[in-house]
A and B are shown apart, each in its own frame.
Chain A
Amino acid sequence: MTDDNHEPSYLQVNGQTIPVDPEGYLRHLEDWNDAVAEQLAQEEGITLSEAHWEVLQVLRQFYQQFEMSPAMRPLIKAISAQLGSDKGKSIYLMSLFPGSPAKLASKIAGLPKPTNCL
C-alpha cells in the first residue's frame, strides 16, 4: 500500500532522523547500518538473528555487484551460491522474512524495493 498523503516519512534511530519512502524503504543507501537494520526489522515485527544477517549480507553484495535489488528467483540463486543450497530455498527465506522475502529482506537491507517482483 502506498501512502497517498505524501507526508515525508522518517525513521528514528539513536536520535538520528533517517528519511524513508512511503513504503518504509530507505531513501539513501548510505544511511544503512546495523542499528538502522534492526529498527527496520522491528517495524516489520522481526528480530534479527545470525540467519537473517547472513541473508542481508548476500543482498547487500548482490546490490553492490548488479546495482539492483533481486526478485525472488535471483535472490534464491545468490543465497544458494553463497550460503549453500539448503538455505537457497523459498521456504527457508519465507521462515526468516515472512510474506514476500525479496521485498522484506531488501527493505531491511536498506536497498530499494525490487522491481518486477510478484
Chain B
Amino acid sequence: MTTLHLINKTPSESTALGDSLATLSEGDALLLIENGVYAAMPAYAEHFTRLPRTIQCYLLNNDALARGLNDLNPDFAAIDYDGFVELSCRYSKVVSWF
C-alpha cells in the first residue's frame, strides 16, 4: 500500500512540508502543487537529501511556470495535469498536506 503525498504550501507558510517528509514510507511519492512548488527551488534542496531513494518526487509544471520558476531541483520530475491524474490512480491513496 503506497501513498501519494500532495503538498500545496510553501516551506515557510505552514509545517506541511516538514510534517509530510517525516511521515513518508518506502515506495511513496511526493507531488508539489500550487504554492508547494516553491519547495523545489534549489535553496530548499536540503529538505530532500535524506529521503529514501524509493521515494519519487514530482511537481506540477503549470504551477511552477505560472510562478516564474525555471531553475528547479533536478530530483523533481515535472508533470502535467494528465500526469497528476495518472499518479492519483497509481497510488492506493492520496494524502493532502496543507
Are A and B in contact, CB atoms below 8 Å, in the complex?
no
Interface residues in chain B, defined as those with a beta carbon under 8 Å from any beta carbon in chain A: none
Which residues from chain A sit less than 8 Å from chain B, CB to CB?
A: none
